Chain A
Amino acid sequence: MTAILETRGLDKHFGGLHVTNGIDFALGEGEVHCLIGPNGAGKSTFFRLLIGEYRPERGQVLYRGEDITALKPFERVRRGLSVKFQVPGIFPGLTVAHNLEIALQHHLEGASLGAEIRRLLAFLNLADAAGERAGTLSHGQKQWLEIGMAISLKPRLLLLDEPTAGMSPAETFATGEMVQSLNRDGVAILAIEHDMAFVRQIAQRVTVLHVGRIFAQGTTDEIVANEAVAAIYLGEAEAPRRTADA
Chain B
Amino acid sequence: MVLLDTAFAFLYQLGDAFAFLVLAACGLAVVFGMMGVINLAHGEFIMCGAYVTVATTRAGLPLPAGILAGALAAGAVGMVLERLVIRYLYGRPLDTIVATWGVSLAATQGTLIVLGSSMPGVGTPLGSFTLGSYSYSTYRVVLMLAALAVLAGLYLAFNATRFGTLARATIQVPHMAEALGVDTRKVYALTFGIGAALAGLTGGLYAPTMTIVPTMGATFIMEAFVTVVVGGADIFLGTAPAALVLGAVRAALTSWQGQLFGQIGLLVAVILVIRVLPRGISGLILRERA
- Chain A positions near chain B (C-beta within 8 angstroms): 14-15
CB within 8 Å of A: which B274-290 residues = 289-290
Who on chain B is nearest to A13 by CB? B290
A15 to B288, CA, bound (A): 7
Interface residues of B in 245-290 (CB under 8 A from A): 289-290
Cβ contacts under 8 Å, A14 to chain B: 290
Closest chain B residue to A14 by CB distance?
B290
A residues less than 8 Å from B290 (CB atoms): 14-15
A194 to B282 Cα, complex, angstroms? 36
Among residues of A, the one whose C-beta sits closest to the C-beta of B290 is A15
Closest CB in chain B relative to A37 CB, distance in Å: 23
Footprint of A on B, CB under 8 Å? 289-290
A15 to B289, CA, bound (A): 6
Instruction: State the CA gap A14–B290 with chains docked (Å).
Output: 6
Q: Which residues of B contact A15 (CB under 8 A)?
A: 289-290
What are 3 pairs between A and B in contact, CB < 8 Å?
A14-B290, A15-B289, A15-B290
The count of A-to-B residue pairs whose CB atoms sit within 8 angstroms is 3
Q: In the complex, A15 Cα to B290 Cα: how many Å?
A: 5
Q: Which residues of A contact B289 (CB under 8 A)?
A: 15
Question: How far is A14 from B289 in the complex, measured between Cα atoms in Å?
Answer: 9
Q: Closest chain B residue to A17 by CB distance?
A: B290
Q: Which residue of A lies closest to B288 (CB)?
A: A15
CA distance A15 to B287 in the complex (A): 7
Closest chain B residue, CB of each to CB of A15: B290
3 tightest Cβ-Cβ pairs between the two chains A and B: A15-B290, A14-B290, A15-B289
Bound CA–CA A138/B257 (angstroms):
62
* Smallest CB gap from B286: residue in A: A15
For residue A65, give the distance in angstroms from its CB to the closest CB of chain B: 33
Closest Cβ of chain A to B30, distance in Å, is 27
Cβ of A56 to closest chain B Cβ, rounded Å: 16
CB distance from B195 to the nearest CB of A (A): 30
Q: How far is the CA of A14 from the CA of B288 in the complex (A)?
A: 9
> What's the nearest-Cβ distance from chain B to residue A54, in Å?
13
Q: Which residue of A lies closest to B289 (CB)?
A: A15
Q: How far is the CB of B126 from chain A (nearest CB, A)?
A: 47
For A16, the closest partner residue in chain B by CB is B290
Kindly provide the distance from the CB of A55 to the nearest chain B CB, expressed in whole angstroms: 13
- Tell me how far the C-beta of A18 lies from the nearest C-beta in chain B, rounded to whole angstroms: 13
Smallest beta-carbon distance B172→chain A, Å: 14
A33-B289 Cα distance, complex, nearest whole Å: 36
Chain B nearest CB, measured from A72 CB (Å): 15
Give min CB distance, A221 to chain B, whole Å: 41
Q: Min CB distance, A244 to chain B, in Å? A: 12
Q: Nearest Cβ in chain B — how far from A106, in angstroms?
A: 28
Q: What's the least CB distance linking B175 to chain A, in Å?
A: 13
Q: How far is the CB of B158 from chain A (nearest CB, A)?
A: 23
Docked complex Cα distance between A15 and B285 (Å): 11
Complexed CA–CA distance, A103 and B168 (Å): 41
Give the complex CA separation of A239 and B82 in angstroms. 40
